[in-house]
Chains A and B, each alone.
Chain A
Amino acid sequence: MPDAGALERYAAPRALAEALELLRDGDATIVAGGTDLMPQSHSGKARFGSLLLNIRRIAELGGIALEGDTVRIGALTSISALLASPLVRERLSILAQAADQFASEQVRNAATIGGNVCNASPAGDTLVPLIVLDAAVELAAKAGGGIETRTLPLQDFLTGPGRTQRRPHELMTAVRVPLPPAGFVARFYKHGTRPALDISTISLGIGGVRRGDRLERVRVAFGAVAPTPIRARAAEALIEGRALDAAAIEAAAEAAHDEVRPISDVRASDWYRQELVRNMTRRVLAHVAFG
């Protein structure tokens, strides 16, 4: 039974400005696809505020568009829509790889990228690829008579499990992803016990610009090994600009293993998560380097 908490009112505005106006009054719960929110309220983990604000009808929050050399992905973009987008598949392929391993067909149709980001789960599957892609989060709020937006790097936006820098009166409007340069390669790996419908035990994304046998602008990111998805800076440093031979790959994998501090839970022990981090960094790095 969902815990209605203090819920008094439901609104489903069609315009962003209207939604922001409603948010300004405070104590609202935003619902997009509801695929996190509903299970959380059923289990008592989330309590509704006095206003339930359904943002699904706001057309301005949808769409994937190339604006200069930035891809703007509207917050309401569903995981299915990411998968269907040629722009995402061709230019942000690591995000499409993650979308392809996300939940099930039904959940992908409802789940949004904004919900995945704002839910801020350490295991959120779009977060690792977005970090590898240097993505930023666009937030909007009503200020005076107009709408004010600000943009934050995703890494800074995420502050802990379920915690972000979003202020109560702000709505996330989009993810902004700089177009990766030519030669950019990246791979996503998700460890679950089954090929579909599983929460990541760990996930990892590795990307960089390939120049001969070297990788530059290297990004190594992990999910489900810390309170937020993280970048493994020590591992990155060990491969940045170096020839990627077996020794370099091994060193980076070991560094990643030592760098993460996962927890033990019903899905896996901390020890096993660390082992996975090493082994899969090695495997994915070899893919990125040689495949």
Chain B
Amino acid sequence: MTVIERATLIGKRVPKMDAPEKASGKTRYIHDIDVSGQLWGKILRSARVHARIRRIDTSRAKALPGVHVVLTAADVPDQRPIGVNKDHPALKGDKVRCVRDEIAAVAADTEAIAQAALALIEVEYEDLPVIADPEAALAPGAPVINEKHADNVAMRFDYAHGDVAQGEAESDVVVEDSFKLHYVTHCCMGVSGVIAEFDASGNLLLHSNTQVPFLHKREFAEILGIDPGRIRIVQPPIGGGFGSKLDIYPFEIIAVYLARAARRPVKLVYTREEEFLASPTRQPVILRLRSGCRKDGSLTFRSVETLHDNGAYTSWGATTPFVMMQTFSSLYRVPHCKYHTTVAYTNNPYAGSFRGYGNLQATFAVESHMDKLAEAVGMDPLAFRLRNAQDPGEVTGQGMTFKSCGFKDCLRSAAERSGFLARHAEYRAAQGAGGRVKRGIGIASMLHVGGGACGTILKLDDFAHVTLMTGASEIGQGSETVLAQLVCEELGLPLSAVTVVNNDTDITPWDVGVHASRTTFIAGNSAIGAARKAKAKILAAAAKKTGVPEGELDLVGGFVVRAASGEAIVELAKLLRGLHFSDKAELVMTTHYYEPPSVHQDKGFKGDVSAAYAWATQVVEVEVDLDTGIVKMTKVTGAHDVGRVINRLGIEGQIEGGVVMGQGYALTENLVIEDGRVKNPSFRDYKLVTAPEIPEMDLAFIETMDGEGPQGAKGVGEAPAICIAAATANAICNATGVRIYELPFTPEKVYRALKGVAPKVAWRTRAAA
């Protein structure tokens, strides 16, 4: 008897399936793809921040040899505005509202010719007053930026649970501060790009970097007034997303317009400078937080008002309040909470979605106050947090039900591993002592959601090779590998037996796109569902063939085996071939659509929006140089409730990368925008963290085995970036006794704060006005 050993890939260190191609430089990104007959597209952007366009003359550009098409808004009368508020025409006609504004586009034989043609386009502007500050935008009589929104308000959000007045009355301590969060941008190594081509029948094929191909398909159909069935989106491997490719942008539509006009394929890829100028940023926020607690350390209320700078058009950044309010209402037990956001139009660049989606901003304020309140009631920061952290089964004021919840384990684990309490006390005591370099340690936690639905098609061929067709895109996060692992686990196959197809809307089933830390959870459950259906079909066929009851069979190591003994009965590939060639020829091909058991929020933003909730605590250690203000991050200890580790190597990579992204947000990255203009559109002055700055990391995984999660797993994609800035603020305060309310902690900002000459974040809220 041949016994097949069971082996599992779950929790192992599995190299990413795309790693060999990427490591050897063979991956073909959009930049590497050329289609025959293609032209190059280039966009002319506004030279002014806010102005009327008096005249555009493209005649000299059109006359340049090698130029095929030059378009302005006048050439595309069928334009439809895009964006979350449908306030954004791809080509601007009469007015420009920010420096990103696209006013003309060229398709030419080469990139150089297209570039040269741009220089030949003459534009006459009439300047309008520039509103570069959201407060000024809301002042009575402020110039109107978007005609449909005469009050310059793009959106408002109001949320409440409980009664904050009562909460305040019950408080022994109340603190209130304003916080200011800056612009950062994704810095994907693969810049934005698209190739648009129409076939002879007028069907559109897009090679696109988008994170949301199915949503785009629909949008393009509306924009072009054609049947969505005539649009196909193929995604080449994407060189980084992080949320930046979640919206539809003018450049994509412009490439389609150019291809339509030129009747040739058009490739449009950003330069690095253009990527800095024209791709979305993280949402900048001014935030006022008032919070309170009792002497025993229990939180009583949080009252929050924020002002979001919408920029000139509305993209996903304006909707970050959805996530922010969850942190204010439900990170720690908050009996009473009130939240208001005004999103104001300005002439600044607009923000989009970015890993964490508002949560970094909210967590920064909340965790600063957790430290301040703890200090005020004389508790240590850990005990204060544990006093307010939730347990499994709790339902928050916003209606989130924490089925699995490793929050307290995260807090205890991160604190213990880093020696938090002893160090915190030691560094605090040393604040007044001599020495030009001070050490500090800070703690912060986060809560994050995930959701959406996803479909899978699974096909087994006659050699038992599996093709997994999923709507979930791979953007470098390693989803292919995790999905393949989950399928292998069900079907008892090695990883090499699976091919993942995830990049072609003509093949893969519908999906809402990669975002919200959702792929492992949602697409994972969908893949498992399809694999289980395939397994049931195979075992039924095996039972029929062998006479062994289905219930006693299993799939292990490429064989149908007796479940109890592991004895091999028939090779899977052989069984499948038998099926194909039997009288009633049959294929093993299954589909599964997974919709998580979450609910949509009601009108008051309440409801159990996520099937599972992810938790994390991070402890950051720093050294602050008092002579220069340089903050060096020396160590990060992270404890993450991930439900269950599926691919250990993958999850470590995700968390390490997220920590570094959080580090950049906290310390070095700053897209400087003055009077609507981007001052540092290059890697020379936009400072990404480089290798020598990356801190030591100690990562722990809290495996709460979520009942709904695939193999117990939860989403983790966004979590690691979220609390680094918050913990860093607390660490700097522990080192120096100085709390800083504004990011990033660049040397000069920190130095000014240490010297007591930093301007205080001042903001008159609506409530105060």
Contacts and interface: CB of A to CB of B under 8 A. Distances in A.
Nearest to B685: A266
Interface in B239-286: none
B596 interface: no
Given A279-B627, A283-B436, A193 B687 contact: yes
B interface SS class: loop
Given A1-B115, A199-B684, A267-B685, A191 B628 contact: yes
A266 B682 CA distance: 12
A63 B52 CA distance: 60
Contact of B679 (A199, A266, A279): A266
A141 B111 CA distance: 41
A193 B629 CA distance: 10
A253 B157 CA distance: 53
Interface in A64-94: none
Contacts of B672: 266
Interface stretch (A16-24, A46-54, A110-118, A269-277): A269-277
A280 B627 contact: yes
B748 A272 contact: yes
Contacts of B755: 275
Nearest to B749: A272
Given A1-B112, A266-B685, A283-B436, A196 B748 contact: no
A194 interface: yes
B693 A276 contact: no
A150 B165 CA distance: 82
Interface in A177-227: 191, 193-199, 201
Interface residues of A, number: 21
B692 A193 contact: no
Contacts of A143: none
A283 B746 contact: no
Contacts of B436: 283
A224 to B, nearest CB: 14
Contact of A194 (B115, B627, B687): B687
Contacts of A279: 627-628
Nearest to B744: A193
Contacts of B679: 266
B687 A275 contact: no
Contacts of B752: 272
A84 B748 CA distance: 34
Interface in B92-124: 111-112, 115
Interface string B602-630: 00000000000000000000000001101
Nearest to A201: B747
Nearest to A278: B627
A6 interface: no
B327 to A, nearest CB: 29
B668 interface: yes
B690 A197 contact: yes
Interface in B570-618: none
B680 interface: yes
Nearest to B686: A266
A281 to B, nearest CB: 10
Interface string B689-731: 1111100000000000000000000000000000000000000
B628 A194 contact: no
A268 interface: yes
Interface string B665-684: 00010001000000110001
Contacts of A196: 690-692
Contacts of B747: 191, 193, 201, 272
Nearest to B674: A266
Taking residues whose C-beta sits less than 8 angstroms from the other chain, chain B's interface range is 20 to 34
Contact of B693 (A191, A194, A201, A268): A194
Given A266-B672, A280-B628, A283-B627, A275 B751 contact: yes
Contacts of B746: 193
Contacts of A191: 628, 747
Interface in B35-70: none
Contacts of B115: 1
A198 B685 CA distance: 8
Interface string A246-277: 00000000000000000000111100100110
A23 B71 CA distance: 46
A278 to B, nearest CB: 9
Contacts of A283: 436, 627
B110 to A, nearest CB: 10
Contacts of B691: 196
A276 B692 contact: no
Given A275-B751, A279-B628, A193 B668 contact: yes
Contacts of A193: 630, 668, 687, 746-747
A269 B680 contact: no
A230 B312 CA distance: 45
B690 A194 contact: yes
Contacts of B685: 266-267
A269 B668 CA distance: 16
B46 to A, nearest CB: 19
Nearest to A39: B684
A279 B751 CA distance: 11
A194 B748 contact: no
Contacts of B684: 199
Interface string B641-676: 000000000000000000000000000100010000
Given A194-B687, A195-B692, A283-B436, A269 B748 contact: yes
A194 B692 CA distance: 8
Contacts of A267: 685
Contacts of B680: 266
A252 to B, nearest CB: 15
A275 B628 CA distance: 8
Nearest to A275: B751
Contact of B628 (A198, A199, A269, A276): A276
A199 B630 CA distance: 15
Nearest to A273: B748
Contact of B748 (A195, A198, A268): A268
Contacts of A276: 627-628
B698 to A, nearest CB: 22
Contacts of B630: 193
Contact of A195 (B111, B693, B751): B693
Nearest to B680: A266
A151 B627 CA distance: 39
A195 B668 CA distance: 12
B357 to A, nearest CB: 27
B751 A272 contact: yes
Contacts of B748: 268-269, 272
Contacts of A266: 672, 679-680, 685
A276 B679 CA distance: 23
Nearest to A197: B690
Nearest to A276: B628
Contacts of B693: 194-195
A1 B42 CA distance: 13
Most chain A beta carbons < 10 A, residue from B693, B747, B752:
B747
Interface string B738-762: 0000000011100110010000000
A123 B746 CA distance: 20
B265 to A, nearest CB: 22
Nearest to B679: A266
B112 A194 contact: no
Contacts of B668: 193-194
Interface of A: 1, 191, 193-199, 201, 266-269, 272, 275-276, 279-280, 282-283
List of 6 A-B pairs having minimum Cβ-Cβ separation, nearest first: A279-B627, A272-B748, A195-B692, A266-B679, A266-B680, A1-B115
11 contacts: A1-B112, A193-B687, A193-B746, A193-B747, A194-B687, A194-B692, A198-B687, A266-B672, A268-B748, A275-B751, A283-B436
Interface of B: 111-112, 115, 436, 627-628, 630, 668, 672, 679-680, 684-685, 687, 689-693, 746-748, 751-752, 755
Given A194-B687, A194-B693, A201-B747, 5 more contacts: A193-B668, A195-B690, A195-B693, A267-B685, A282-B627
